[in-house]
Structure 1
Amino acid sequence: MDNEFVKVPEKDKTLSPGKLFYNWFAANIGIMGFVYGAIIVSYHLSFWQSVTAALIGALTFAIPGWVAMIGQREGVTTFKMSRATFGTHGNKIPNFMAWLNMVGWLAVNVITGTLLFSAMLKTIHVPQTGFTKFICLVVFAGLVFLSGIFKEDTLAKIQTWLSWIFGGLTLVMLIMFLMNANWGEAFAMKPGSWVTGWLPAVAFIAAGSSISWSMAAADWGAYVHPNTKPSATFWNTTLGAATPLFILMAGGVLLSTISPSLASASDPYQVMYGVIPGWFGFLYFLVAAGGIIPQCLVSFRSARINLSTIGIEVSQKRSLILHAVIIILISIYVLFISGDFLSNFELFLNFLGICLASWVAIFLVDSVIYRKNGYDVKLMEPNSSVHYNWPGIISWIIATIFGFLFTSNAAYRGPFAHGIFENNSSLAVFVSGIAAIIVMFIKSSDKQED
């Protein structure tokens, strides 16, 4: 099979470092960043500990930066390269995880959009009831589905304009937070534990951002112009994503001094409504919700591609209906049965973070150990004779099990979740990644001895 079936054609490698930076910047300038910042404070950290946790958490985007650099070097997208790591059939593991990741974030986006619409209605004094929230869900989901009539380039233009407008409004929002922040309370916040407070906060941010994004990093890296220095791909990916995320999280830390209940609120956007002028809140929530719609549609299409890669072929129409039903059911559960968005969101990030941390660790270690001279194209072909690459598969299984043994959350408690791991579920994300690295090196040693 010719390389063109695996590698991105040279004519399509047009992504400049500046465009790469913008793509990552636009993808990570979202209203959830404020909520992340407030959640960091909920780990009982001082102001400076919270800010440094936000900074280090944002800089974990060095992981996608590394993956993007490999994608540029090989000119191959993520899940084609991972065929070499797991085998053509074994590669269904990361494909399935990518599908879960996509569906989970689709649900988060739809729920977020619904809550934003609900908060927007509050700014014009519409009573907040279960019925109005249901109407908001119907309206937002309807807008997502109707946006399917637009072409990809039209959606990209809409997303670009909304990103710029949202970025400008966010700057105004940050100025408001700086002016209204309770600085005395901020600097009086008592320091927390670096091990059981600061480290889990960093792990939570990594699980919710960089680790999840790692599965898409090579997809952009593979389209970077060949003359671009690898270091430029790395830094434009890392800083393009980390910069807006850190700024938003720092704003969330300040916001938590104004509204301490933000991190524990079942609906954080209703809390945000209370600290900004009503007229501004309406505009801000409208643009924030509008910006989510194109993201949702692109994610719907990506979810269909992931299903196809796993081996489940469905038409675009059936895929849209299937994923819509799943996401609406999840949204109804979170909004009307559980009624607690943040708790369910943290639970989702914990489970997903454990599985994805082990995956990206295996992918990178495999690249370092076995792909020093580049990837063998034959291993990345869909009809490759290597169906299962057992070192990668076994390492993922062992590392993921280790992660769950040490996790402790509202739904599950592992047998080893004691001491520093008790009530610190996000630390299990680090355990999973470290276990994957250790097992991969042990497997490579055994192979060399054989």
Structure 2
Amino acid sequence: MTAPTDDIARTQGTLTTIEQRGIEPVPDDERTGQAGALFWVWFAANISILGLPLGATLVAFQGLTIWQALVVAVVGAAGSFALVGVISIAGRRGGAPGLTLSRAVFGVRGNIGPTAISLLSRLGWETVNTTTAAFVLLSLFAILFGADGRAKEQPLVTLAAILVFIVCTVLVSGLGHAAIVVIQRWATWIFGALNVFVAVFLVARVDWDTVSSAPAGPVSAMVIGIGTIAAGTGIGWATAGADIARYSKTSVKAGKLVLASAVGAGVPLVLLIGLGALLSAGDPTLAQAGDPVAAIRDLLPSWMAVPYLVAAFGGLLLSNHLSVYSASLTTLTLGVKVPRVWAVAVDVVITFVGAIYFMLVADGFYAPFITFISILAVPITAWLGVFIADMARRTWYDSDALLDLRRGGRYWYTGGVSLPALGAWGVAIVVGTLFTAVQVGDAAPVFVGPLSDTWVGANGLGWVVTFVVAVGAYLLLGGPRGALHGPVGASRPAAREVR
């Protein structure tokens, strides 16, 4: 899947230009993107070693075979990214970031809650990326300079590793959409090839007798695994679906956007999750590792360590600069009055602090990580249900009204709130939480929902219930409001946010 020549040429021509547009909708005459651009963006964003420990947990903790793990990866990863593609359709329709379009659904004030949750999710993922990348650099420093690769033993080196990754992130995220589209496309080939090269050596170490003799896990474990993978992949990216697609031509078919997102992210995720499952068969070390980078490095011949670490660093960077770009738009939607490039700086400062905590203070890493994505899956899925239900009837977003925060605007509704949308979101979160148990690693549960021990809760289906309740409640409470269909073929003028 490739992007058209004229689109690539236009994007390359602005590669070093800082994007000045914030959350204001993109005028139709500036929208030249095709579905192929989404394929490369999502493929590159998911060439990350974080897929390996996710796959490892399916075997080590859920007791699945490699074949069951692959099925779980396809359904959980590719399936959840199909939802990201659905949100991309809204970006094509409205030409604005996803959470900005969400103002039409929730109201300009009612949208604050979903936007804050989305920003928390993005910051959490960026902290995970930054922490993992810093572990990568520590390992690289240990090989090249003989330094101690343990974070807590080398606090200054750890701080330097975190800063290097953050600076690399800002250099791309700060430039904006044009740079991201081009870099994601070409980096896919470079780091994809490195990952394949490393994967060959990892597969060579697999104990195939153990893999083939492993008993199949129960179907319930597969269901739980699908929920975990979906929460850790597509659902975590759902609110960002429109952020890149807002530059797509209005003539791009909706099905192509969905397919490009699902396949673009699905291919690398299925391969990496499957590889993680293979490596963990008979050896749960990877799933239990406090430093997963070192755990994978130790599985390789010593001469393979450097290309592995370079591939790992590159994959994490490709994911992080897209996440930071999306987070900066979400920050602006939340009401922070700074240029987009400064919003990028605000976001990375927060992730810098978070990475310091995970590396120099906390004793564990992936247990909090899995807990984090499981908790946020509920409110994000609730937003997803309401937003998609609204999309079923709304084909147009008023560009001026999206930026009009004053009383009496089209999306002001009742006191700035769409009661059906916000009410459905709240009800879905409450119901979903009833089926959720929050536990960090082997510690005592932090929270146990009263229905978490039912078949639905025990099988990790609380997020599915959340989605269904969000859709149903929104429609029952009145559904979409405001003008749902605009003038056909009308050009989208530039707009400014009005307060």
Bin the TM-score by the shorter chain. 0.7 to 0.9
Query: Partner amino acid for 1:432?
Result: T
Q: Distance in 2 between matches of 1:106 and 1:432?
A: 25
Q: Summarize the Cα distance change of 1:318–1:81 in structure 2 as closer, same or farther, 3 Å threshold.
A: closer
Shift in Å, 1:20: 2.2
Match of 1:391?
420
Contact 1:407 1:421 survives alignment (8 Å): no
Aligned equivalent of 1:214, options 230, 238, 242? 238
Residue deviations 1:213-268 (CA, integer Å, cap 9, x gap) = 11111222232223322222221122111111111111111111274321122222
Residues 400-411 of structure 1: pairs in structure 2 closer than 5 A = 400-410=429-439, 411=446
Question: Shift of residue 301 of structure 1?
Answer: 5.1
Is the counterpart of residue 142 in structure 1 residue 163 in structure 2?
Answer: yes
Q: CA deviation at 1:119?
A: 3.0
Check if 1:232 corresponds to 2:256: yes
Partner of 1:52: 71
Contact kept in structure 2, 1:162 and 1:287, CA below 8 Å:
no
Cα RMSD after superposing both structures: 2.9
How far apart in 2 are the matches of 1:402 and 1:246?
31
Residues in 1 aligned to 2:365 and 2:452: alpha-carbon distance in whole angstroms: 24
Contact 1:144–1:297 (CA<8 Å) still a contact in 2?
Answer: no
Shift of 1:88: 0.9
5 Å-filtered alignment, 1:51-70, equals 51-60=70-79, 61-70=81-90
2:307 aligned residue: 283
Return the offset for 1:176.
2.1
Of 204, 214, 217 in structure 2, the residue corresponding to residue 189 of structure 1 is: 214
The residue type equivalent to 1:263 in the other structure is A
Counterpart Cα distance in 2 of 1:299 and 1:352: 16
Q: Which residue in 2 is equivalent to 1:435?
A: 469
User: Is the 8 Å Cα contact of residues 280 and 287 (structure 2) preserved in structure 1?
Assistant: yes
Distance 1:113 1:162, change over 3 A: same
Choose which of 105, 121, 126 in structure 1 pairs with 2:125: 105
What TM-score do the two structures reach when normalised by structure 2? Answer: 0.80
Instruction: Quote the Cα distance in structure 1 between the aligned partners of 2:341 and 2:225.
Output: 40
1:176 to 181, 201, 211: 201
State whether residues 58 and 243 of structure 1, in contact with CA within 8 Å, keep that contact through their aligned partners in structure 2. no
Distance 1:418 1:79, change over 3 A: same
- Aligned mates of 2:360, 2:332 — CA distance in 1: 32
Distance 2:193 2:86 in 1: 30
After superposition, the C-alpha distances for 1:327-382 in whole angstroms (9 at most, x for unaligned) are 233223322333211101011101111111111111001222x42x5445575342
Which of 414, 417, 420 is the matching residue for 2:449? 414
- Which stretch of the first structure deviates more once superposed, 52-61 or 323-332? 323-332
* Aligned CA distance change for structure 1 residues 35 and 397 (closer, same or farther; 3 Å): same
In structure 2, the partner of 1:380 is 402
Say whether 1:78 aligns with 2:98: yes
1:272 to partner: Cα distance? 0.6
Once the two structures are TM-superposed, the CA of residue 159 in structure 1 deviates from its matched residue by: 5.4
Deviates more, 1:295-304 or 1:273-282: 295-304
Provide the C-alpha distance between the structure 1 equivalents of 2:103 and 2:341, rounded to a whole number of angstroms. Answer: 28
Moved more, 335-344 or 296-305: 296-305
Report the equivalent of 1:40.
58
Higher helix share: 1
Q: Does 1:355 align with 2:379?
A: yes
1:280-304 deviations in Å (ceiling 9; x for gaps): 2222213422453465456445434
**Whole-angstrom distance in 1 between the partners of 2:229 and 2:478:** 31
Aligned length, in residue pairs: 439
CA displacement at 1:29 relative to structure 2: 1.3
Q: Using the alignment, how far apart are the partners of 2:52 and 2:290 within structure 1?
A: 15
In 2, are the aligned partners of 1:38 and 1:256 still within 8 Å (CA)? yes
1:322: how far off?
4.9
Aligned to 1:10: 28
For structure 1, the 5+ residue unaligned runs are none
Query: One-letter code of the match for 1:166?
Result: F
Judge conservation of contact 1:353–1:429 (CA < 8 Å) in 2. yes
Contact 2:37-2:181 within 8 A present in 1 as well: no
Judged with a 3 Å threshold, the aligned counterparts in structure 2 of structure 1 residues 282 and 428 are, in CA distance, closer, same or farther, namely same
Contact 1:87 1:379 in 2 (8 A): no
Q: Displacement of 1:407 after TM fit?
A: 1.1
TM-score (norm 1): 0.88
Question: What is the percentage of aligned positions where both structures have the same residue?
Answer: 27
Q: For structure 2, list consecutive stretches of 5 or more residues without a partner in the other structure.
A: 1-22, 440-445, 482-499
